[in-house]
């Protein structure tokens, strides 16, 4: 979701939305902190791919400060990349050809990026190349089987345009070629990764922050769907570990 949707938020739910965003961000920090502890080294190298102007680092005070010292932000958007003050080094590049040495990175972070990959297999092979053995890839991406996604495939273009306008979404091409737990597991195995964790979380209602009533209706439906199956939750959080070389 674009940061622009803050400008189109229903003011009646601003406090509630801010709290939910902080909770979601806090959970991501817990995941990355766990990876840092697992590495056991004092100067890990973290690369955030698709970091834009506001990535993961620097948003929770001193948390993850140890990872900022040797952090690298990579994005194809030069303007957004230049505005990111939370990474130490900035590189304008594509994820399909990273200007990094092989076996040089401890942690790769990708957030809301995998849905935009036209060739996810190629990207994963490149991530595997630059990661050290035992290094980690953190993925946060939409779940293709989420009910919002399913509805979107059945609604007219006019509805899509309205929702994109209302939420301030960016018109970036999406392919969803690695956006199910099954597909992520399949691609991981083919690219030299093992699956450390993979989970889904409800977050679909956040697309409707432009209207309080609609937001609460969709939040209720999200909870209801979650009781039936977690397979329809919006957000996939996945951690892949590069298989140790023999």
Give me the CATH number covering residue 145.
3.40.50.150
- Quote the tokens at residue 140: 């946060």
Predicted confidence (pLDDT) at residue 157 exceeds the cutoff of 50: no
CA pair distance 201, 142, nearest whole angstrom: 10
Is the confidence at residue 164, as pLDDT, over 50?
A: no
pLDDT in tens, 129-145: 999 999 999 999 988 88
Mean pLDDT, rounded, for 18-37: 95
Higher pLDDT, 97 or 223: 97
Q: Residues with Cβ < 8 Å from 50, sequence gap 6 or more?
A: 74, 75, 95, 110, 111, 112, 113, 116
The yes-or-no verdict on residue 105 having pLDDT over 90 is yes
Per the structure, the count of domains in the chain is 1
Contact in structure between 179 and 142 (CB atoms under 8 Å): yes
Domain that holds residue 233: 3-242
pLDDT at residue 211, as a whole number: 92
Lowest mean pLDDT of 103-112, 145-154, 236-245, name the range: 145-154
Which has the closest alpha carbon to 109: 226, 246, 239?
Answer: 239
With cut-offs at 50, 70 and 90, classify the pLDDT of residue 168: very low
Q: Over pLDDT 90: what percentage of the chain?
A: 65
Q: What integer pLDDT is reported at residue 10 of this predicted model? A: 93
Helix (H) or strand (E) holding 48: strand 46-49
Q: Quick one: pLDDT at residue 239?
A: 99
Q: How far is CA 58 from the centre of its chain?
A: 16
pLDDT at 6: 46
User: Is the pLDDT assigned to residue 1 strictly greater than 50?
Assistant: no
Q: What is the pLDDT of residues 35-92, one digit of tens each?
A: 999 998 678 999 999 999 999 999 998 899 999 989 999 999 999 999 999 999 999 9
Check whether 223 has a pLDDT greater than 90.
no
- Ranking 82-86, 149-153, 158-162, 205-209 by mean pLDDT, the lowest is 158-162
Q: How far apart are alpha carbons 239 and 193 in whole angstroms? A: 10
- Please say if the pLDDT value at position 147 is more than 70: no
Q: Is the Cα torsion angle 9, 12, 14, 17 positive or negative in sign? A: negative
Give the global pTM.
0.86
Between helix 120-130 and helix 181-190 the angle, nearest 10°, is 50
């Amino acid at each position: 979701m674009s940061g622009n949707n803050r400008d189109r938020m229903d003011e009646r739910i601003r406090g509630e939305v801010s709290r939910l965003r902080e909770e979601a961000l806090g959970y991501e920090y817990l995941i990355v902190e766990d990876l840092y502890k697992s590495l056991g080294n004092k100067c890990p190298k973290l690369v955030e791919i698709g970091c834009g102007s506001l990535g993961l680092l620097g948003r929770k005070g001193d948390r993850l400060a140890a990872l900022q010292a040797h952090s690298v932000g990579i994005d194809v958007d030069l303007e957004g990349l230049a505005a990111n003050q939370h990474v130490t080094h900035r590189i304008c590049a594509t994820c399909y050809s990273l200007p990094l040495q092989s076996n040089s990175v401890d942690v790769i972070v990708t957030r809301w990026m995998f849905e935009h990959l036209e060739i996810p297999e190629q990207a994963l092979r490149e991530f595997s190349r630059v990661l050290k053995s035992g290094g980690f890839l953190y993925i946060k991406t939409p779940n293709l089987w989420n009910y919002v996604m399913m509805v979107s495939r059945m609604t007219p273009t006019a509805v899509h345009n309205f929702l994109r306008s209302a939420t301030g979404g960016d018109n970036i091409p999406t392919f969803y070629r690695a956006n199910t737990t099954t597909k992520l597991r399949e691609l991981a195995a083919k690219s030299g990764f093992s699956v450390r964790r993979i989970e889904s979380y409800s977050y679909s209602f956040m697309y409707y922050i432009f209207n309080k009533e609609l937001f609460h209706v969709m939040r209720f439906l999200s909870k209801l769907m979650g009781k039936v199956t977690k397979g329809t939750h919006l957000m996939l959080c996945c951690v892949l570990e590069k298989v140790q070389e023999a």
